[in-house]
Amino acid sequence: MKVAYPKHPREILIRVTDRNVVNGLRSPMKTSEVVSLKEKLDEYLVRLGHSTGHVMGIVVRLLTSAKVRVDFRDYTERLELMDAADAISSAQAVCLLEDYLAEAHPSEQPSGKPGQMVTQRIVVQQLDKSRKS
């Protein structure tokens, strides 16, 4: 079921604050910039992959609570809506992301019947029993 949302991702501005992580500790030096949600979505889709649940989790949390912290291996990003009025319900956030993905990356959408899911490839390697941990 589609749920209407007020703004397109290119119209939603977010503040991104980065901090490096060195030896498990966040650096005191911060960098901050304001970008559109569209720009951040495009970055995450390249970095995390188009079909990942992580992108969905980040976007839904950001749009429902107005801020979220994302920890990567060597840095941390804090994302915050510039206008708290841009906060929406989780159903609206999911629809916004799904519509954006269909619009921005149509070639990566599942083909075939509506509702048909893309088969995910998972590789499981057997542990070599002769190796000791």
pLDDT in tens, 16-39: 999 888 877 777 778 899 999 999
Look at residue 90 in the predicted model and tell me its pLDDT. 94
| Weakest mean pLDDT among 41-50, 77-86, 89-98 | 41-50
Summarize the confidence of residues 59-85 as an average pLDDT. Answer: 92
Q: Give the SS3 label for residue 4.
A: coil
Please give the pLDDT value at position 114. Answer: 47
Which helix (H) or strand (E) element contains residue 14? strand 13-22
Task: Determine, yes or no, domain membership for 30.
Answer: yes
C-alpha–C-alpha distance, residues 95 and 39, integer Å:
18
Show the domain range for 43.
Answer: 9-108
Tell whether 113 is covered by a domain.
no
In a domain, 2, yes or no: no
For residues 103 and 122, what is the distance between their CA atoms, to the nearest angstrom? 27
| Residue 127 located in a structural domain | no
Per the structure, the count of domains in the chain is: 1
Residue 102, token pair as written in the block: 């269909």
Q: Is residue 118 part of a domain?
A: no
Work out the percent of the chain whose per-residue pLDDT is above 70: 76
Query: Is residue 6 scored above 50 in pLDDT?
Result: yes
Bridge partners (DSSP) listed for residue 18: 31, 77
